[in-house]
Structure 1
């Protein structure tokens, strides 16, 4: 009824009483005043009359505003001081300390102080010399990108990771609602079965996966000999149809990767173009935020593969293969472009962590 001004509402009331207190008759009588299509319908006329008879007024009924008993100036100031002094205290604990209900505290925080809850971002600790190495690598990266605008698209990023069959149970986010405690226990083996997977990532897609395993299909430790077997028997055949004359190869500084025989094998195809400890360009340690497999691929796969809860090692492998094959080259290109951005941010921050990446992406 708010779209009808007071004068029009008065006309409706008059028409109602002048036409035998009938909603239908009033509707007909109002045609000349409102026009055929602008007059209130029979139901609206009935609501107007009901409200008029209950309140004696054709105006809008104002909802009473309840006095704020908890959101007083004193309590707002107290919450503000508490947050400034201890910003990480939980709302439940803070409400107890200030003798407020949790709902009142939340109203003050959100509606009066306009504060937001931010998650703590976890990242790997950097050692004193790491900042220099990260800055040095990012500056070299920028120089190469200046000379060759497609430089980052000519790098094969590689690495391996473990995938455990049991996955994990986050009990902090797991609740079971019931009348009685069901006493549910999630059993996990002390030594969970796992697979060890190697992959390569470049703008053309994903190379792999390759599983480090014995003849029985069980995961084995990645040592230099096995790593070289992977390169010879798997990586080289995968690269046969690729033009690797100007391609770079990146790997972390694990001992199995940087053994003399391994580096000599890699130089057969990537001579002068190896990004690694003991390579042509040093790969900075503890820099998961700068390597695409660490900041993208492994997390992406772990988020996907446990959805269907694989029950056997073979099912786990099948899930890994399925999701790796489902990654389109366009996604890999976006990841590489993001890596360029990360290198630029690392250079600007002089080797520090990447706050622009962690908190704004």
Structure 2
């Protein structure tokens, strides 16, 4: 597909979730936790004074979609997010990109829920990427999407320049960090996706950072 359409990487809505913790850590596999509560309610984890913030972001072309703040989420919450919360910010994306876009996510349980897959089949017919689609996505592959190899690290650097005081303060910093990232920087990072995918194939799915081209 990329050989036929070199712009395909800019036509994919790349998505991912991460947990930002009080101590400066970023967990890229936070969506293994579930709850029935409002996805925009901020989670404060109280384990000996520890707390964290769960964040969803997407990248489409040169635009960052989000952030959206989740508490623990299950398939129903994620479906509500896809149906009701995500469409409004996508309206700001040029129509030519929105019309032909793909949707990518990984294969965590909330993403694999039957209702979610049915919704994606109707909304993105043969144009969504993930477990259970015609374009399966490899599990636990943080090297491959622009969010994992670029965005989360950039946000972490900005957010933790000084330690956040509360979860609300951290959310504010995350929003400010995202707003500070230029379209040109995101577009450049998206273009790196092609080489990373080729390197992954070349190394039979094994680590490829040692190649030193990124």
What's the TM-score once normalised by structure 2's chain length? 0.82
Counterpart Cα distance in 1 of 2:205 and 2:164: 40
Higher RCO (C-alpha 8 Å, min separation 6): 2
CA contact (8 A) 1:203 1:330 kept: no
User: In structure 2, do the counterparts of structure 1 residues 268 and 238 end up closer, same or farther at CA, with 3 Å as the change threshold?
Assistant: farther
Matched, 1:278 2:102: no
- 1:30-69 superposed matches below 5 A: none
**Superposition RMSD in Å:** 1.9
Structure with the larger strand share: 2
Task: Kindly provide the CA deviation profile for residues 135-186 of structure 1, in whole angstroms up to 9, marking residues without a partner as x.
Answer: xxxxxxxxx1111121111101111111112336xxxxxxxxxxxxxxxxxx
Cα shift at 1:355:
4.2
2:182 is aligned to 328
Instruction: Give how far 1:250 is off.
Output: 0.5
322 and 197 in structure 1: CA distance in 2 versus 1, 3 angstrom threshold = same
Q: How many residues align?
A: 191
After superposition, residues 1-361 of structure 1 pair within 5 angstroms as 144-167=1-24, 190=48, 192-212=50-70, 220-242=71-93, 243=95, 244-357=98-211, 359-361=212-214
Can you list the C-alpha shifts for 1:231-275, whole angstroms capped at 9, x where unaligned?
122211122343322111100000101111111222333111111
Runs of 5+ unmatched residues, structure 2: 26-45
User: Which structure's residues are more often helix, by fraction?
Assistant: 1
Contact 1:224–1:262 (8 Å) recurs in 2? yes
Larger Rg: 1
Q: Which is worse superposed, 189-198 or 330-339?
A: 189-198
Q: Which runs of 4+ in 1 moved over 6 A?
A: none
8 Å CA contact 1:202–1:333 kept in 2: the answer is no
Task: Give the conservation status (yes or no) of the 8 Å contact 1:157–1:291.
Answer: yes
TM-score by length of 1: 0.50
Instruction: Output the CA distance in 1 between the equivalents of 2:133 and 2:76.
Output: 18
Check the 8 A contact 1:245/1:270 in 2, yes or no.
no
